[in-house]
Amino acid sequence: MLYRFMGGSDGAYPRYGDLIFDQAGNIYGTAAGGWPDYDGSVYQLTPTNGGWEQNVLYQLDDLAYAGVIFDRGGSLYGTTYFGGSGDGSVFQLTPSGSGWVQKTIYTFTGQSDGRNPVGGLIFDESGNLYGTTISGGPRDGGTVFMLTPQLNGTWTFTLLYAFRCLTNCSEAGPWSSLVMDSAGGLYGTTYSDGLGYGGIYGYGSVFKLTPSNGGWTETDLYDFTGGSDGCGPLGNVIFDAKGNLYGTTYACGANSCNGDGCGVVFEITP
């Protein structure tokens, strides 16, 4: 065990976010809550003689479910679930002296842009950020978005794709971070609890977005049935050297787990 959260000023509930290293071997992550206001935080773990020292880099204004990523200049980027006006935000932390300066680079409106980002962010080679929301958007099933940096320090939001939700629309969209292939295609998962949304059968899906003629084309790679193949994928997918995709589902599958199924690890072969 490297570090045990105490629920105080050090934070609590490091839930869905991935950890990252810097070149010096320090670890960075997020805690979803903590004392005194239960808002999230970004922290650093520094290796010491025989252990690790935790340092909170910044106390956020809301829950932080996703991890953070570095840009080439050493700034950190992440998302908050309810931040900004209540529908979530994307933030930047820039090292300054002995501390970090926070800047909100986008605030979600809960309208066509979506709301409540849970998944993390990724960069492309041009420095654009890509991410997802689990709800909202033009078709109420969550969104995939891009943020483009401008010369004046602002960021421009672009809606890449909106997922459709027909009934019981709540948190059906992507909970995970995206993955980009060498051609610029984006891959991810949509989540569902079997109430009639998220994939053809209502149990989640794996999708691909392909850049095409100034827009993006969505391809449904797999729709979970809620049986032995699993249901409710929450995590992101990964590639192997042959281009196969691997991921997990939250529930369903062959085993019981009180009738809900215990989840599966799956492979999708092109």
Report the pLDDT averaged over residues 60-74.
Answer: 92
* pLDDT band at residue 168 under the 50/70/90 scheme: low
User: Quick check: 196 pLDDT over 60?
Assistant: no
One-letter identity of residue 6: M
Q: Residue 24: which of 45, 39, 3 has the closest Cα? A: 45
| Burial bucket for residue 241 (CB in 10 Å: 0-12, 13-18, 19+) | exposed
The residue behind tokens 């650093």 is: 44
Q: How far apart are the C-alpha atoms of 261 and 50, rounded to whole Å?
A: 41
Residue 78 vs residue 255, higher pLDDT: 78
Residue 260 vs residue 116, higher pLDDT: 116
The dihedral region occupied by 124, where left means phi > 0, alpha psi between -120 and 50, and beta the remainder, is beta
User: Which are the contacts of 185, defined by CB distance < 8 A and separation ≥ 6?
Assistant: 208, 209, 210, 211
pTM of this structure: 0.93
Q: How far apart are the C-alpha atoms of 32 and 8, rounded to whole Å?
A: 12
Decide if 19 contacts 32 (C-beta within 8 A): no
The residue behind tokens 């602002």 is: 154
Report the pLDDT averaged over residues 195-212.
Answer: 81
pLDDT at 151: 95
Residue 35 vs residue 210, higher pLDDT: 210
User: Quick check: 192 pLDDT over 90?
Assistant: no
pLDDT in tens, 124-136: 999 999 999 999 9
Q: Residue 121: which of 139, 110, 102, 106 has the closest Cα? A: 106
Q: How far apart are the C-alpha atoms of 154 and 105, rounded to whole Å?
A: 7
pLDDT at 264: 94
* pLDDT band at residue 197 under the 50/70/90 scheme: low
Q: Residue 30: which of 86, 68, 83, 76 has the closest Cα? A: 68
Q: Residue 237: which of 198, 194, 187 has the closest Cα? A: 187
Q: How far apart are the C-alpha atoms of 197 and 168, rounded to whole Å?
A: 7
Q: How far apart are the C-alpha atoms of 268 and 138, rounded to whole Å?
A: 29
pLDDT at 167: 62
User: Quick check: 24 pLDDT over 90?
Assistant: yes
pLDDT at 206: 95
* pLDDT band at residue 144 under the 50/70/90 scheme: very high
User: Quick check: 79 pLDDT over 80?
Assistant: yes
SS3 at position 43: strand
Mean pLDDT of the chain: 89
SS3 at position 222: strand
* pLDDT band at residue 6 under the 50/70/90 scheme: confident
pLDDT in tens, 45-65: 999 988 899 999 999 988 889
* pLDDT band at residue 249 under the 50/70/90 scheme: very high
217-221, 253-257, 261-265: least confidently modelled range: 253-257
One-letter identity of residue 131: G
Q: Phi then psi for 149, rounded to 5 degrees?
A: -75, 140
Beta bridge partners of 52: 47
One-letter identity of residue 72: R
Q: How many CA atoms lie within 13 A of 218 on its CB side?
A: 16
User: Quick check: 255 pLDDT over 80?
Assistant: no
User: Quick check: 171 pLDDT over 90?
Assistant: no
pLDDT at 104: 96
